[in-house]
Amino acid sequence: MISIIEGKRYSTETATEVACEQYGDYGDLGRYTETLYQTPKGRYFLHGAGGPASPYAECSDGTYSGGADIEPMDMNKAYRWLEANKMVTAIEVHFPDRITDA
């Protein structure tokens, strides 16, 4: 998927996948997937895709269908997404400076 937001191109094909999380059960109309990517220039973005009852649903003429979207994220928001989803390895690789031992 490619999206241009504020003059910047975000492409899932040229970016590197950092982490992926799936929400909901197979067959659930609300099921969706979110994948955090890092562009070759170091920017982060979240690609989400899901069914007709997911946060990524699209409505056309009153009918909902599955959809997808891209959301640019600054480093703080990307880190918080990884932390909220317990993506320890990705945090250690992409944000080692934010980790200290307890």
Using CA of residue 20, residue 95, residue 77, residue 2, what is the dihedral sign? negative
Rounded to whole angstroms, the Cα distance separating 93 from 44 reads 14
Question: Looking at residue 76, what is its pLDDT?
Answer: 97
- CA distances to 47, 53, 55, 82, 100 from 2, in Å: 10, 23, 19, 22, 36
pTM of structure? 0.90
What is the per-residue pLDDT across 53-84, written as a single tens digit (0 to 9) for each?
999 999 888 899 999 999 999 999 999 999 99
Lowest average pLDDT, out of 28-32, 37-41, 85-89, goes to 28-32
